[in-house]
Chains A and B, each alone.
Chain A
Amino acid sequence: MADIIQVKNVSKSYWRDSIETSVLHDISLDIKEGEFMALMGPSGSGKTTLLNLISGIDKPTRGEIIINGTDISRLNESSLAKWRSNNIGFVFQFYNLIPVLTAFENVELPILLTKLSKAERKQHVETALNIVGLNDRMDHYPKQLSGGQEQRVAIARAIVTDPVILVADEPTGDLDRNSAGEILTLMERLNQEFNKTILMVTHDPHAASKAHVIRHLEKGDLIQETV
């Protein structure tokens, strides 16, 4: 399998009141197409920052990030927005669903920007909700769903555009054990059945154990590789 994600000598620093805080130091990392990788590490180790850089919602201070042949660190904001909508599916720890929209409408959001017809959008949304097992909850609002169900809606939203890469930041961090198990099973299924490349940040060793590859970050450095 070819490398779909190539992180080359990436560093990231933040400036707060003229004080530079270095978060990532000269990171290099390759992820193969169809791989399920877990990024682990203590709080402040830079794992979410690395995830943000790979998903194109933040830019590196130095280095290159090449995704599927595109150096995203060179894209401007509008090109990056379009690239994200076509290539990346996001799953957040706190689901981040829009509370005034139903499950169906939340999942439909990313494809509102496409040229799909209403009927095509409906088909895509129903397929995504079917994959996450929530086609009977499509008219429910987020507050009418359990945490696990909300996260499944968020996953349906992430996959509705059929992106090649899924990034998940602590997707089970706000869930009970059973719900977390369901989400991990769903992610495994997306990886295996739908060949999604998944990059997941987690604190939870049990969650990480579902991944093919686990990489550890410690104070901004990748410290070891476990297969």
Chain B
Amino acid sequence: MKILKLIFKNSFRHKLRTTLTIFGISIAVIAFGLLRTVVTAWYSSVKAASANRLIVRQSVSFIFPLSYSYREKIAQVPGVKEVTFANWFGGTYIDKNNFFARLAVDADTYFEVYNEFVLPKDQLDTFKKERNSCVIGADIAKKYHLKLGDVMTLDGDIYPGRWEFVVRGIYQPKFKSTDAMQMLFHWSYLDETMKQEMPGRAGDVGWFVVLINDPAQSASISNQIDGIFNNSTAETKTETEAAFQQGFIQSSSAIITSMNFISFVIIGIIMLVLGNTMIMSARERTREYAVLKTLGFSGKHLAGIILGESLLISFLGGGIGLLLTFPIVSGFSQFIPKGIFPVFEIEPITIIFSCGSAILIGIVAALFPIQRALTTKIVDGIRFSG
């Protein structure tokens, strides 16, 4: 018989209590994993951002437009390789709940700058030629059963009216983190309509996307671009794509902070659950620990036995919880509207956190029982009846 066998047998002495504790830890680990996955998914757009792309927007707010005329000036800044632009269109496709990005873009340059949107050449050529055509992400095509040649009708809100687009391209995401839920159409088509119906809004661009040669030069290029438009009616704010995405997330920072906080509160709850089990278990065995001491077991041996039990239970609960987290996160992702999170899956850091938490919980939960077992005198322990 080995000490490990004693640890295992002690752990399951109260089968119901241990099973419930393991179950509780599993549930908590699942909740922790799910929350952490949501938090990391929130940041996935930041992680997917390209280092050699800068975003130029109105300095006051993203919602205010810039003039198309800025493009040429930006393109002349040393270190700039290409300049493209986009406009947030908004609108509704079939139902208000169908959320995905609809952008008016520069058809000639957009796919050069966003080379992670993989579009066959023939589809790109057709798209460029037809002004009322659009390109959609593969996830949109899949979700709404759209194919090349189909017509997508949008009800405009920012840009009122009924807008019809012919699907001429379906792009595939190059990376797992690439958003495949975007609809892209000609900015020139939108601009022409604006010239006719709302001349005051003609020539407006939402933001410019600047492709640069050297990411290390991003700060100086950003300063140069913003310097050009200093003291103009529409000053600019240029930042890296990652910083731009981070700015979006900032608006939801309270929610993310809450989720982060709750995920760690869950760890605290698990500690209390396991700690309670370990304290009860150790208290019931006060006399046994005293007997083991009389047999020559040292404090180190007892600490090892108690810590072993605690770690065994936390590992079992953590392991089961982690294994179940994968199918649950996968199932959960089915209910999240496509386009909100380009990537929704368990990250390695979440697995590391969960495993690390299991170890930490096992250790912390054992501390008090160990301290009690070590400090209780043998004579008091043998007299103990609890």
Contact = CB atoms under 8 A, between A and B. Distances in A.
Contacts of A52: 378-379
A118 B9 CA distance: 20
A101 B9 contact: yes
Contacts of A101: 1, 6, 9
B297 A105 contact: no
Chain B contact residues, majority secondary structure? helix
Contact of A109 (B10, B13, B287, B295): B295
B217 interface: no
A193 B302 CA distance: 35
User: Interface range on chain A: under 10, 10 to 19, 20 to 34, or 35 or more?
Assistant: 20 to 34
A52 B292 CA distance: 15
A119 interface: no
A98 B288 contact: yes
User: Interface range on chain B: under 10, 10 to 19, 20 to 34, or 35 or more?
Assistant: 20 to 34
B18 to A, nearest CB: 12
B193 interface: no
B9 A100 contact: yes
A92 B9 contact: no
Nearest to A107: B1
Contacts of B291: 90, 92, 96, 98
B296 A110 contact: yes
A108 B1 contact: yes
B1 A105 contact: yes
Contacts of A77: 298-299
Nearest to A95: B291
Nearest to A100: B9
Contact of A81 (B2, B5, B298): B298
Interface of B: 1-3, 5-6, 9-10, 13, 287-288, 291-299, 301, 377-379, 382
23 contacts: A52-B378, A57-B382, A58-B378, A77-B299, A81-B296, A81-B297, A82-B298, A86-B296, A90-B294, A90-B295, A96-B287, A98-B291, A99-B13, A100-B9, A100-B13, A101-B1, A101-B9, A105-B1, A109-B292, A110-B296, A112-B2, A113-B295, A113-B301
In the complex, the 10 A-B pairs of residues with the closest C-beta atoms, listed nearest first: A85-B296, A100-B9, A57-B378, A105-B1, A96-B291, A110-B295, A81-B298, A58-B379, A90-B294, A52-B379
